[in-house]
Amino acid sequence: MSEQRLRIAIQKSGRLSDGSFDLLKSCGLSVSRGRDKLYGRVQEMPIDILLLRDDDIPEFVADDACDIGIIGQNVFEEEILNESHEAPAEEVMKLGFAHCRLMLAAPKEWCFDGSLMLEGKRIATSYPALTRAWLARQGVNAKVVMMKGSVEVAPRLKIADAVCDIVSTGATLDANGLKPVATVFESEAVLIRNRQEFSPEKQAMFEALLKRIKGVMTSKDAKYVMMNAPRSAVPAITEFLPGADSPTILELAGNPEKVAIHAVCRESVFWDTLEELKKLGASAILVLPIEKMMA
Give residues in contact with ligand PRT (CB under 6 A). 11, 14-16, 53-55, 72, 74-75, 98, 100, 165-172, 187
188 lies in the site for Zn ion, by CB under 5 A: no
Q: How far is the CB of 24 from Zn ion (least distance, A)?
A: 20
Using CA atoms in the order 253, 256, 258, 261, what is the torsion angle rounded to 10 degrees? 70
Is the CB of 16 or the CB of 31 nearer to ligand PRT? 16
Is the CB of 68 or the CB of 130 nearer to ligand PRT? 130
Burial of 249 (0-12, 13-18, 19+ CB in 10 A): middle
Q: How far is the CB of 37 from ligand PRT (least distance, A)?
A: 13
Q: How far is the CB of 143 from ligand PRT (least distance, A)?
A: 21
Binding mask of the shown chain, residues 46 to 65, with x at each position contacting Zn ion by CB under 5 A: --------xx----------
Q: How far is the CB of 283 from ligand PRT (least distance, A)?
A: 43
Burial of 240 (0-12, 13-18, 19+ CB in 10 A): middle
What is the C-alpha to C-alpha distance for residues 168 and 100, in angstroms, rounded to an integer?
5
Size of the site for Zn ion (CB under 5 A): 2
Is the CB of 74 or the CB of 228 nearer to ligand PRT? 74
Is the CB of 55 or the CB of 201 nearer to Zn ion? 55
Is the CB of 168 or the CB of 255 nearer to ligand PRT? 168
41 and 48 in contact (C-beta within 8 Å)? yes
Across 94-128, b (16+ Cβ under 10 Å) vs e yields ebbbbebbbbbbbeeeeebeebebbeeebbbbbbb
Q: How far is the CB of 281 from ligand PRT (least distance, A)?
A: 44
Q: How far is the CB of 59 from ligand PRT (least distance, A)?
A: 13
Binds 165: which of Zn ion, ligand PRT, none (CB < 5-8 Å by kind): ligand PRT
Residues that bind Zn ion (CB under 5 A): 54-55
